[in-house]
Amino acid sequence: MAKRPRPTRQASPKRLAEAAAAAAAASTPRRSARIAQEGGRLVYNVHDFLANKLGTEIVGGTYPPGTLFPNESELRARFGVSRTALREAFRVLTAKGLIVSRTKVGTRVRPKADWNMLDPDVLAWHLQAALSEDFVTDLFELRQMVEPQAAALAAQSCDEATLNDIEAAYADMVRYQNGSDDLIDADLRFHQTILEATGNHFIGALGGLIHTALVGSFQLGWESASFMQNDRLVQHRAVLDAIRDRNPEQAHAQMAALLRDSVDDVKRALRSRGGGSPL
């Protein structure tokens, strides 16, 4: 099977985290600064900054569903931005289903059922501001629907170059097992390469969503531990071996088992931070 062209590699989790921290420390956006959104794409302008900031506040509960936003003049004064920048940010949030504007009424937060949860930005805002055990459960249920089948498809059809990339990612996981952002990056490459190996364009279209989910869950899962547990490393090796052996049933089963145990790791880390309540 012809190898599907790979998407441009996104910034590493370490660089994303550093840039996001710098952005969060700034009280107002600077038009000339590069601002990075946690868990996702780099942003370069004021309205992206505003959309990220306000989106995080909506998801985090500062503006609950059904409530009105502060008026335009209040927000412009708070951020020191133009009317155009603010309205562009509102357009972004409207497109993601978070807000709705009505003439003579104002801008209101929409019900959660209307939010586009498949949007990588909305997911990133949840990971940043509204983590709960229920949210983590839903996130891993999505991964269970996609990744075991992706591993099975990879076992059936991936070429040697892609298999070498999966092996290289695993080798880096072994190398950095004792803990660093390089370990997160290696684990991320392992899972992303398996998704790419399917050659399925619909799965490829979920790449941004899966990337955000992986970065967020990996970082949370390792907040209470400085290294990857040996049994998780063994499970990754079992997935790799099944793909190398062209055994789709085993690849599916091993990936499903890995995800089942990984969600427990993340939940334990979440409980240690606050009993499983939203952060």
- The last residue of one of the domains, among 52, 81, 114, is 114
Indicate whether 157 and 231 sit together in one domain: yes
Indicate whether 155 and 24 sit together in one domain: no
Give domain status of residue 151, yes or no.
yes
Domain count, the chain: 2
Answer yes or no: is pLDDT of 184 > 60: yes
- The last residue of one of the domains, among 86, 114, 142, is 114
Answer yes or no: is pLDDT of 152 > 50: yes
- The last residue of one of the domains, among 114, 148, 182, is 114
Give the pLDDT band of residue 182 (cuts 50, 70, 90): confident
Indicate whether 152 and 222 sit together in one domain: yes
Indicate whether 139 and 46 sit together in one domain: no
**Cα(150)–Cα(210) distance, integer angstroms:** 12
Range 157-185 average pLDDT:
88
Give domain status of residue 5, yes or no.
no
Three-state SS annotation for 50-77: HHHHHHHHHHHCCCCCCCECCCHHHHHH
Indicate whether 135 and 269 sit together in one domain: yes
Indicate whether 150 and 240 sit together in one domain: yes
> In this structure, what CATH number is given to the domain that contains residue 90?
1.10.10.10
pLDDT tens for each residue of 254-274: 999 999 988 887 887 777 766
Indicate whether 109 and 162 sit together in one domain: no
Domain extent, residue 54, equals 14-114
pLDDT at 53: 93
Give domain status of residue 222, yes or no.
yes
pLDDT tens for each residue of 64-82: 999 999 999 999 999 999 9
Range 169-184 average pLDDT:
83
Answer yes or no: is pLDDT of 23 > 50: no
Give domain status of residue 4, yes or no.
no
pTM of the predicted structure, to 2 decimals: 0.71
Indicate whether 151 and 88 sit together in one domain: no
Q: In sequence order, what DSSP letters do the residues of the chain get, joined into one string?
A: -PPPPPPPPPPPHHHHHHHHHHHHH-SS--TTS-EE-TTS-EE-SHHHHHHHHHHHHHHHTSS-TTPBPPPHHHHHHHHT--HHHHHHHHHHHHHTTSEEEETTTEEEEPPGGGS-TTSHHHHHHHHHH---HHHHHHHHHHHHHHHHHHHHHHHHH--HHHHHHHHHHHHHHHHTTT--HHHHHHHHHHHHHHHHHT--HHHHHTHHHHHHHHHHHHHHHTTT-SS--HHHHHHHHHHHHHHHTT-HHHHHHHHHHHHHHHHHHHHHHHHHHHTT---
